[in-house]
Structure formats: structure tokens, C-alpha cells
């Protein structure tokens, strides 16, 4: 597997030993008329191009590098199966395909999925055979469709402002999984740090013996078995207590067995809650020193070139004194979240809502489908300490958001997960929320600080767009600020917020003044700076797009790490 791009198992939260990575070289065709099915693509023998999966055709790493609009694409490859691999169930898994995907196995339709950011799988047991098999994937995408969430992907030909290169088709790992006839479908983990327990609720295919084992650094911490059918619930009392904390994940290993099926996982012993104006992690107030992370890469666009590249972004953030991130306008892949879990790195799970027409109530159905898929996939990650389905729900072609769209998504989120806070729409325009946040790109530290004086003294939080949203006493913070432009090298098309500082000293003083105003506020539990690294023309990161430091990281580590007033 060493020659396969992104060879690691894509989801350590739900890992089986019996799997086959399908990344690598696939046949590929553009379908600019979105007419490939009628044109006989399923029967076509000779394809004209090759592509390296899991990298999108817009990326350099794919071997294609085509960045104009791509309405549809086709992929094809063969894979070989043994008789032993066919002794049970066979599933094909996709980490993510943007946006609609139709999958064919040996010429027959295996399934259809709509949504460009969440994982999906199909049971292909009845479609595969011993020896050579063929998989074909047809992906259809249109970032200009108001019923499609596209995040920061540009709706114009070229990137501009804070909109970047598009992603089409397969952009995460594709793999096969082999299971017995009776197998584990899914499970949710509920840690309880106060009582030193962890509960697991599992969904099973079949009836049999279900066993869960928890261990810490190789030492058995708990084990329970029971007879189960379709569903199972176990509550483990841990013999060793190791808390998940900021900067130290202290993960427990988890093994779930059902008849012949075995799944490896892990968990962190931690609980989060909002108490008054404070964010509590395991009952202790923790200040969230967050940074905006867009999840873009110069060579892979949406897809990191390697597992090490994912981990490196966390290390870069820690080096400048942040302890977490808003994972912005994108559903990040499980491998990134795994590293956040290991490193004790706080993150907000968000969704790439930009591009949707929030004025249309019909968008609720489309949004909730993919959003709940994200909630289900990522529920067990201890690093995720909150959910934020929407960001800046600006008017769509002059029409205001339909408030019930946001209200319904918020309420569905809380029904699905009562263990974490939820921000309905970050920045604007709030409808129903656990936390009131604002985005404030004032570049003057004095006027910036003055806006939050009333809140600092126990009064009302500063509200942007008071005609559209109101503060009702919720915990509050500034979830986007700064965005100070500082271009390295070619700067003609550089974009950022406000006027660029003339000197390095001016940049640092502005950064410190803005950040100190938030750290000094005893009623603010967090900040989130824009942003960690440049993305294409948006050059307001502390690092370049290539992840090179613009300044001495130690300067920002000292500013960001200072004790916050709310921690007193």
C-alpha cells in the first residue's frame, strides 16, 4: 500500500482490519454536457485520461489541474476480490464526492448519494464476483445552483476575495470493507468524566454476542458482553481515569465485537457545557483561543497531500498559541479530526452553507440531510466541542433568510446532540442559538475595544446588524476578527480586511491590541482570529498558503497564550 496516495485508514473512529484502499490511478473523463450516461460511458472501452484519486481534477496532485467549471465527471477502475473476501458482506465507501454521485459496479447501479461533504457507503455484496470487478462513478456538480452548498468554492470563473478554487468529484479516500453477515452498523459514545464511565449505544445487523472493551495505553480499563439484537447499550465503569484536556488527548482505545465483526475505535473522557458566560471542559473554565482554518491546500485544494500535512496544520496553530479552530465552511475529513482528538485541540464542527438560498424554505430538506450525516459521522470526536451549521447567512439576491430554516436546523441539531452547544449561524443573523457571536473586522484596537465595554461591565453584548438580530443574554464571543492583510511576495491581487500595516511592528501592535481587547473581557469565553494561513488571494494568514511563517511564531504565541480575564 505504500505507493497508494493517502494509504492510511480514512476513519480511525470506525476502523476494520479487513479493508482495501482504492486510491490511486483511475480512468477519467470530463462530461461537459452532463450527457455521459446517454452517450454510453458505462460501455465505453477506451477512456482518454487518468486521474489520481482522491485528489479532485482541479488540483495539481490529481494529474489534471483543470480549474474551469466542470458540470460532470466520470471515474473508472478495476479491483480484484478473492473468494475469502466474498465470504460475507462487501461495502464500498466514499469519504466524500462533490456533489451528486452515482456508483456502478460491474455495469449495475449500486447507489446514489447527494451531498458533497459527507461520507457514504453502499452494500455491493450482490454485485461483485471473485476475480476482476469494475467500479464506475459519475459525479455531477454546480456551484452556481442555489440548492447546493459549496462553501468557499468560487461561483465565478476565477477565485476572488474569500472564495477559492472549486472541487469536483471524488476528494476523499475510496475503500472497500469486508464484514461477516452479522456486523456493527454504527455506534455513539457518551463519556461521563464525573462518574468515570463511558456508555456505548450501538446499531447492529443481526442477533448475537456484543462485546465492548476499553483500554488505556494497553491496559484493560473495562469490558462488558451481552446478548443483543439490532440494538445494544452498554455502560462501562473505567478502572483508570484519564481526562481529555486541552493539549492532551489521553485517548482510550475501544474495541467493539459482534459475532465475527470487530471494529477498532477510541474515545476521550470529557464533557463540555456552557455555564453562565463560561465554557466548561470537565467542569473547569477553559478559554477557547481559536483560529479560522479553511482546510485548503495549494496542491490538493480540498485534500491534503498526506496524513502528515493534516497534522502539520494543527502543529502550526499550536506554535502561535491557539488551542483550537473553527473548521470553516467545510466538513473536514475524519483523519484531521482524529489528530485533533489526539492533540487535545478544540474544534467547532461547521458546514459549508455558502451558496444556498436561505430565503427558500425548501432548502431545509436539502440542508438537514447532509448536516445530520455530518452529525452522525463526527458525533464521537472529543475534539468537537460545538456545532455551527450556518455562517453569515447573507441575503440571497436581495432576499432575506427564511428564519424557520435556521430555527429548524438548530432544533434538529439539539435533538441529535444535547451534549454540545450549537450556534445557529455564526456572525449573522441569529434566530435561535445557545451562543451569540459576532464577526468584527474593525482594524483599530481602540474603537474595537470600545464596542465591547458595555459587555465587559456586565451589560449588553455589541450587536452587528441590530435591525436583523438581538442579544438575549446568551454567552458571547467574537468568532471572527483581525484578518490583517500581509502579503509575502506578489501582492497585486492580495485581499484582506482593512488597510495593510506598513511595517511588521505595526502588524504586531494591531494584532496585540485587537486580541488583548478580547482577552481582557471577563465575560467573553473565546476568540477566533482570521486566519491561520493564506488561501490563494486571501492573504491575511499568520502563515503563507505554503505554510511558511510570516513572522516569528513566538511573538503570537505569547500574545495568544496570555491568561484571559474570564479565567480568574
For residue 486, what is the domain's CATH number?
3.20.20.80
Does residue 419 sit within a domain? yes
In angstroms, rounded to a whole number, what is the distance separating the alpha carbons of residues 3 and 263? 26
461: left (phi over 0), alpha (psi -120 to 50) or beta: beta
Do residues 212 and 168 both lie within one domain?
Answer: no
Does residue 14 sit within a domain? no
Q: What pLDDT score was predicted for residue 260? A: 94
Q: Given the DSSP bridges, would you call strands 278-281 and 284-285 parallel, antiparallel or unpaired?
A: antiparallel
Do residues 291 and 391 both lie within one domain?
Answer: yes
Does residue 18 sit within a domain? no
Does residue 393 sit within a domain? yes
Do residues 303 and 372 both lie within one domain?
Answer: yes
Look at residue 370 and give its three-state secondary structure. helix
Do residues 314 and 403 both lie within one domain?
Answer: yes
Question: Beta partners for 137?
Answer: 75, 103
Does residue 527 sit within a domain? yes
Do residues 89 and 221 both lie within one domain?
Answer: no
Q: What pLDDT score was predicted for residue 489? A: 80
Reported as a single tens digit per residue, the pLDDT across 465-504 is 999 999 999 999 999 999 999 999 877 789 999 999 999 9
Q: What pLDDT score was predicted for residue 1? A: 43
Does residue 149 sit within a domain? yes
Could you tell me which of 339, 306, 303, 335 has the C-alpha nearest to residue 324? 339
Cβ 190 vs Cβ 202: under 8 Å:
no
Q: What pLDDT score was predicted for residue 2? A: 56
* Angle at 114 (CA atoms; ends 110, 119), nearest 5 degrees: 75
Do residues 166 and 187 both lie within one domain?
Answer: no
Do residues 267 and 374 both lie within one domain?
Answer: no
Instruction: State the CATH number of the domain containing residue 42.
Output: 2.60.120.260
Does residue 213 sit within a domain? yes
Question: Beta partners for 243?
Answer: 269
Q: Is the pTM of this model over 0.85?
A: yes
Cβ 393 vs Cβ 350: under 8 Å:
no
Residues of the chain with pLDDT under 70: 1-2
Do residues 297 and 365 both lie within one domain?
Answer: yes
Q: If you search the block for the grid coordinates 454567552, which residue do you land on?
A: 475
**What does the block give as the cell for 334?**
475524519
Q: Terminus-to-terminus CA distance in the chain, angstroms?
A: 52
Does residue 50 sit within a domain? yes
The domain boundary residue, chosen from 172, 204, 227: 172
Cβ 119 vs Cβ 98: under 8 Å:
no
What range does the domain containing 127 cover? Answer: 24-172
In angstroms, rounded to a whole number, what is the distance separating the alpha carbons of residues 363 and 455? 35
Q: Given the DSSP bridges, would you call strands 19-21 and 174-179 parallel, antiparallel or unpaired?
A: antiparallel
Q: What pLDDT score was predicted for residue 324? A: 98
Q: Name the CA radius of gyration of the chain, rounded.
A: 24
Do residues 399 and 514 both lie within one domain?
Answer: yes
Which one-letter DSSP state was computed for residue 118? S
Provide the domain count of the chain.
3
Do residues 457 and 359 both lie within one domain?
Answer: yes
Do residues 166 and 251 both lie within one domain?
Answer: no
Q: If you search the block for the grid coordinates 452517450, which residue do you land on?
A: 39
Do residues 77 and 152 both lie within one domain?
Answer: yes
Could you tell me which of 50, 31, 32 has the C-alpha nearest to residue 41? 31
The domain boundary residue, chosen from 123, 142, 172: 172
Amino acid at each position: 500500500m505504500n505507493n497508494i496516495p493517502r494509504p492510511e485508514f480514512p476513519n480511525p473512529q470506525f476502523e476494520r482490519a479487513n479493508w482495501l484502499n482504492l486510491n490511486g490511478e483511475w480512468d477519467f473523463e470530463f462530461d461537459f454536457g452532463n450527457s455521459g450516461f446517454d452517450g454510453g460511458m458505462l460501455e465505453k472501452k477506451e477512456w482518454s485520461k487518468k486521474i489520481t484519486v482522491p485528489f479532485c481534477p482541479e488540483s495539481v496532485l490529481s494529474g489534471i489541474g483543470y480549474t474551469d467549471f466542470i458540470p460532470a465527471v466520470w471515474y473508472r477502475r478495476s479491483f480484484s476480490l478473492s473468494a475469502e473476501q466474498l465470504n460475507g458482506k462487501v461495502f464500498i465507501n466514499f469519504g466524500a464526492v462533490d456533489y451528486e454521485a452515482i456508483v456502478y459496479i460491474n455495469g449495475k447501479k449500486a447507489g446514489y448519494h447527494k451531498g458533497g461533504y459527507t461520507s457514504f457507503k453502499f452494500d455491493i455484496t450482490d454485485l461483485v464476483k471473485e476475480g476482476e470487478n469494475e467500479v464506475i462513478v459519475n459525479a455531477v456538480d454546480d456551484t452556481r445552483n442555489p440548492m447546493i452548498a459549496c462553501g468557499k468554492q468560487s461561483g465565478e470563473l476565477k477565485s476572488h476575495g474569500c472564495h477559492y478554487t472549486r472541487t469536483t468529484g471524488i476528494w476523499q479516500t475510496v475503500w472497500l470493507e469486508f464484514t461477516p453477515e452479522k456486523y456493527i452498523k454504527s455506534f455513539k459514545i457518551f463519556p461521563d468524566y464525573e462518574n468515570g464511565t463511558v456508555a456505548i449505544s450501538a446499531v447492529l445487523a443481526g442477533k448475537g454476542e456484543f462485546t465492548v472493551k476499553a483500554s488505556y495505553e494497553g491496559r484493560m480499563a473495562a469490558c462488558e458482553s451481552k446478548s443483543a439484537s439490532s440494538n445494544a447499550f452498554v455502560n462501562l465503569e473505567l478502572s483508570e481515569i484519564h481526562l481529555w484536556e486541552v493539549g492532551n488527548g489521553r485517548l482510550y482505545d475501544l474495541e467493539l465485537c459482534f459475532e465475527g465483526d470487530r471494529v477498532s475505535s477510541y474515545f476521550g473522557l470529557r464533557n463540555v457545557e456552557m455555564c453562565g458566560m463560561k465554557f466548561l471542559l470537565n467542569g473547569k473554565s477553559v478559554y477557547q483561543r481559536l483560529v479560522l482554518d479553511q482546510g485548503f491546500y495549494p496542491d490538493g485544494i480540498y485534500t491534503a497531500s498526506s496524513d502528515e500535512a493534516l497534522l502539520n496544520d494543527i502543529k502550526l496553530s499550536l506554535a502561535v498559541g491557539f488551542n483550537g479552530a473553527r473548521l470553516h465552511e467545510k466538513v473536514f475529513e475524519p483523519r484531521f479530526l482524529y489528530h485533533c482528538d489526539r492533540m487535545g485541540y478544540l474544534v467547532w464542527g461547521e458546514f459549508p452553507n455558502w451558496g444556498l438560498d436561505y430565503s427558500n424554505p425548501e432548502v431545509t430538506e436539502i440542508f438537514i440531510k447532509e448536516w445530520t450525516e455530518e452529525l452522525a459521522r463526527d458525533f464521537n470526536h472529543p475534539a468537537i466541542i460545538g456545532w455551527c451549521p450556518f455562517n453569515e447567512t447573507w441575503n440571497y439576491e436581495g432576499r432575506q433568510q427564511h428564519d424557520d430554516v435556521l430555527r429548524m436546523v438548530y432544533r434538529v441539531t439539539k435533538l441529535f446532540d444535547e451534549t454540545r452547544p450549537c450556534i445557529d449561524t455564526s456572525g449573522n443573523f441569529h434566530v435561535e442559538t445557545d451562543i451569540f457571536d459576532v464577526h468584527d473586522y474593525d482594524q483599530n484596537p481602540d474603537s474595537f475595544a470600545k464596542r465591547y465595554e458595555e459587555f465587559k461591565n456586565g451589560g449588553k453584548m455589541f450587536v452587528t446588524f441590530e435591525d436583523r438580530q438581538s442579544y438575549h443574554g446568551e454567552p458571547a464571543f467574537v468568532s471572527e476578527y483581525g484578518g490583517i492583510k500581509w502579503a509575502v511576495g506578489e501582492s497585486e491581487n492580495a485581499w484582506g480586511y482593512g488597510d495593510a500595516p506598513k511595517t511588521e511592528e505595526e502588524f504586531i501592535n494591531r494584532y496585540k491590541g485587537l486580541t488583548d481587547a478580547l482577552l481582557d473581557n471577563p465575560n467573553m469565553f473565546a476568540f477566533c482570529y482570521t486566519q491561520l494561513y493564506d488561501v490563494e488571494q486571501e492573504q491575511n494568514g499568520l502563515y503563507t498558503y505554503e505554510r511558511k511563517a510570516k513572522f516569528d511564531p513566538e511573538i503570537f504565541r505569547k500574545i495568544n497564550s496570555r491568561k484571559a480575564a474570564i479565567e480568574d
